[in-house]
Structure 1
């Protein structure tokens, strides 16, 4: 049985040094790939927002936007895997969308998809990555051929920002999701209680009218 190589703790990467070790080459490859990946993410984000907002007044606009957010989730997952393999960043996968809404109506599921924080953060990630991708590609390319003695330090500094972006925008918000679920559950209990009280009052009024 082949064991996959274990990744180091993202907070305990080997220190950058003048020698060009395997981590330097991994980080350099990651930075050079930032530009094409960022272009794909930016184009996808613009198309999703443009089409979803433009067609939001029609029947298909909001479902298309929800589908776009689902696609953004998938792109975010690919970015998490890329960062995990090339940068050693360990970020948990977010909870699946629709948990707790499977047995509810279409509009409830649609609303849950529209307010999906994971999808929106993934779109934001795709939007802001383009200028950063252009910058890191240019700096890394120049460093690779001109400033190669200090390339390990430049690569480590640039990828530190990438690591922060992945952790900040592509990590799950389980605590937030848990609080939202609790609030929705509490709201459901309040609504059910209010409906039961209203039915009881109507019944009492009806019985009182009949007694008179």
Structure 2
């Protein structure tokens, strides 16, 4: 009996230490929702290409005018905002159910660790956009996003690093298939997020 209580106490202590050092309220459903938003966005971008007379899958290099680039940037920004908002809503709901604070010192450390490579990658991609090096943007976003996820693993669920590794590998592969950024974006930000989200939802629900 004493041995059972001893093990229960140790388990409780480990749980408390994990709660204090890691942000464990990330919702798998937020990943699913973000992935669906990315796939819908990719489909809409393909529709834009069709509207502009661009046959994306014919293998030819296509010229993107300033107006088209601005529209694509707007679409990407809207998808990003939707993903962030949905992530916050699902995570806040999960934190409330668990009786945990969504904003504390651990959350701040998580966001800082995640933001450094992400902001660096964002500025790098803006430079690529400025110099009209559009084909390099998709690989760069996937790689920097993957690095951000791996870095954030220290302060949240360890499983997130595997999503990060997959994003990095996918970004590196896409470097050898320049011009197919929409496809790799759909796989990385869409399919991988959905798969990861479903696994995390089942594992931590």
Q: Same fold (TM over 0.5)?
A: no
**For the pair shown, which has the larger CA radius of gyration, 1 or 2?**
1
* TM-score normalised by L of structure 1: 0.33
Structure with the larger helix share = 2
* TM-score normalised by L of structure 2: 0.34
